[in-house]
Structure 1
Amino acid sequence: MTNDTRPTIADVARRAGVSKGLVSFALNGRPGVSADTRERILTVAADMGWSPSLRARSLSVGRAFACGLVIGRSPDVIAADPFFPSFIAGVEDEFSVSGQVLVLAAATPGRHEEETYRGLAADRRVDGVILSDLRADDPRIELVSGLGIAAVTLGVPDIDSPFTSVSVDDGAGIRLAVDHVADLGHTDIAHVAGPFAMLHGRHRAAAFEDAARARGIRARTVETDFSAADGARATTALLDAEVPPTAIVYSNDNMAVAGLGTAQRRGLSVPRDLSITGFDDTELGRHLFPALTSVSTDARGWGAAAARALLQAIAGAVPEALALADPELCVRDSTAPPTRS
């Protein structure tokens, strides 16, 4: 054994004065090894810093012990959105104790994204993938199914799918936000939505329109790409309207924070002149002034649930639809009754 290589079973066998087969039996807890010999082998292995080779383990069981998460958004949007770090932390909570490795990739939707999935599936580089940001008639469902790897979807696809889904009711959170500002007395509200090409962006926008209609109040929606910059653009457009809204319901905290800054730079007071709600209840939003009223969805818990479901799918579990707890609205200081009708 050289100084720049990890010790192998053969190295442990030579140091312990036994065969490689006996070392393998001892390290894997298999019968056929006396208690004294097993203890000696384990002691030698520990002293030498031996650890199991993931490569050897992968070859022996035909698995990669890696799972993929391909995010079909701009890297700039991913870097700025607090949802993804929290979600990935939840995935790692599960993978860190299961010996699984997360392979993360950002890819432009379309051909580049397809090539990324094919690359991950080639030579069994991953055992499964998490499909996020579902789209209408999402082509990734058929693509990943054809690649023969396990998968779970974040949300329920609008087409037939052979995969387990792990979802949160996007509409429930938006309805809570609309009812909250309506109860405060707002009758002219707006929604800064995500891209309608994404199912959760579309679901949130539809829920907003339905909730506003049920309350008999004026509503308008502006589509964005979920980025803070586009959230600021949408806010500017709404505030430049002949009759601006008195409350804006944002589809994520990132855009809500940008909207709050946009309003304040125009000399508006939040919430006296404009009420604002976010979505995802990020830590930053709680420390703003005023603190952000936001829909809480537990992104970290969602990541952990998705990781558990994917591990079960890899093990051959029957696909199912898993619904997580409905979101809650955390009311803080960015919402108040309107000062104008």
Structure 2
Amino acid sequence: MSFALNNRAGVSPGTRARVVRVAERLGWRPHSAARALSGESAGVLGMVLARSAGSLGVESFFLQLMSGIQRALAPRDHALLFQMADGLDAECELYRRWWAEGRVDGVVVVDPRTEDPRPALLTSLGLPAVVVGGMADEGAGGSEAPRLSNVWADDAGAMATIVRHLYDLGHRRVAHIAGVAGFAHTERRIASLRTEAARIGLADARSVTTDYTDAQGAEAARRLLALPAPPTALICDNEVMAVAAVSVAAERGLAVPREVSIVSWEDSVLCRTLHPQLTSLSRDTEEFGRHAAEQLLDVLTGGPLRQVRTPLPTLTPRESTAPPPPA
């Protein structure tokens, strides 16, 4: 029976067809562990998020990313196995276990670090992977770094777009409520802010790292807006922290955008329905996820490793940015 269902040699076409009909009537499906032991595809891609569940809040990025991944997997009869992990060590241990058990055919890796053990680990395991987001070398595939497929956006260019928008409005004191320190995209955005500030002559530009939650976003906004010379504009690394910053401005009696402007790095329905509507970076995150999944599926079928740069996000000005108050 197993030879018939797994399309092995030694079974006549007529017998195979009868066995398949009976299996379909009984609702039989191939067992993933058994398929893995026989060397067959598990039909599953894995993705691990090494953040606390609370840090996701109502942030839309990962939901849209996973939606795009699933959009690519569904026609290929693949599934996405998603799991949270308590830190990078736990994430790496999951990869080892998945590889040993044959649970997944490959993995989608998110949140690249500046010091990241995962590329070397996955390369040593021979577990195919695609990294979502710019790695420490911006996806350039350095000669000494383990090469993995990579789908990434230009974080430095996106930050420069935001800074130019604020500078053109007249802002000279700009603060950045950033994400997690050590994440490659966080460090790249911080560096880009410093570079742009030096290039155009901003009087004050600084970054404060957080864990992406509304609580830490609000605390960072309170500290920044309590400075003797507070920033006249805040750039927030996701919409959850941007909304928190709007709330902090209100509790301090500051009008947005007349007294402080706020920009969200991610666009979402939250940005468009809040009052005032948030100026945001707009990109097709579902398409980002679809690109990543298709790239990994291509590698699984013998395709080449590639570094794919997605279009630069566009800034959508809305009600939350305006010229700063008179000095």
Q: TM-score scaled by structure 1? A: 0.84
What residue in structure 2 maps to residue 221 of structure 1? 207
Contact kept? 2:158, 2:312, Cα under 8 Å: yes
2-side partners of 1:79 and 1:260: how far apart? 16
2-side partners of 1:181 and 1:23: how far apart? 72
Contact kept? 2:36, 2:101, Cα under 8 Å: no
RMSD over aligned Cα atoms: 2.6
1-side partners of 2:169 and 2:14: how far apart? 71
Does the alignment pair 1:75 with 2:53?
Answer: yes
Contact kept? 1:156, 1:321, Cα under 8 Å: no
Amino acid at match of 1:250: C
2-side partners of 1:317 and 1:131: how far apart? 18
| Runs ≥4 residues deviating over 2 A | 20-28, 48-61, 78-81, 108-111, 155-159
Aligned residues: 314
Give the 3-state SS of the residue equivalent to 2:56 in structure 1: helix
2-side partners of 1:141 and 1:24: how far apart? 46
TM-aligned CA distance change 1:287 to 1:49, over 3 Å = farther
Does the alignment pair 1:127 with 2:113?
Answer: no
How far the C-alpha of 1:111 sits from its partner, in A, is 2.7
How far the C-alpha of 1:318 sits from its partner, in A, is 1.5
How far the C-alpha of 1:59 sits from its partner, in A, is 6.4
1-side partners of 2:88 and 2:319: how far apart? 41
Match 1:138 to one of 106, 111, 116? 116
Contact kept? 2:57, 2:240, Cα under 8 Å: no
What residue in structure 1 maps to residue 175 of structure 2? 190
CA offsets 1:94-150 (integer angstroms, 9 cap, x no match): 111111111111112243222111111122111101111011131011111112210
1-side partners of 2:52 and 2:107: how far apart? 19
Structure 2's unaligned 5+ residue stretches are 6-10
Does the alignment pair 1:267 with 2:253?
Answer: yes
How far the C-alpha of 1:176 sits from its partner, in A, is 1.1
Contact kept? 1:58, 1:65, Cα under 8 Å: no
1-side partners of 2:46 and 2:136: how far apart? 19
Amino acid at match of 1:337: P
Contact kept? 1:293, 1:334, Cα under 8 Å: yes
Does the alignment pair 1:283 with 2:269?
Answer: yes
What residue in structure 2 maps to residue 98 of structure 1? 76
How far the C-alpha of 1:168 sits from its partner, in A, is 0.6
2-side partners of 1:116 and 1:240: how far apart? 43
Whose radius of gyration is greater, 1 or 2?
A: 1
Greater displacement, 137-146 / 325-334:
137-146
How far the C-alpha of 1:156 sits from its partner, in A, is 3.0
2-side partners of 1:249 and 1:89: how far apart? 27
What residue in structure 2 maps to residue 38 of structure 1? none
Q: Percent identity at matched positions? A: 35
Contact kept? 1:280, 1:299, Cα under 8 Å: no
Match 1:22 to one of 3, 8, 13? 13
Match 2:317 to one of 297, 309, 331? 331
What residue in structure 2 maps to residue 148 of structure 1? 126
Contact kept? 2:113, 2:135, Cα under 8 Å: no
Q: TM-score scaled by structure 2? A: 0.88
How far the C-alpha of 1:90 sits from its partner, in A, is 0.5
2-side partners of 1:288 and 1:305: how far apart? 30
Does the alignment pair 1:53 with 2:53?
Answer: no
2-side partners of 1:72 and 1:225: how far apart? 12
Match 1:161 to one of 138, 146, 165? 146
Match 1:295 to one of 268, 271, 281? 281
How far the C-alpha of 1:312 sits from its partner, in A, is 0.9
2-side partners of 1:191 and 1:27: how far apart? 65
Match 2:44 to one of 66, 79, 85? 66
TM-aligned CA distance change 1:9 to 1:24, over 3 Å = farther
Contact kept? 1:286, 1:292, Cα under 8 Å: yes
Amino acid at match of 1:184: L
1-side partners of 2:289 and 2:47: how far apart? 11
Alignment of 1:304-323 (within 5 A): 304-323=290-309
Contact kept? 1:278, 1:292, Cα under 8 Å: yes
2-side partners of 1:107 and 1:52: how far apart? 29
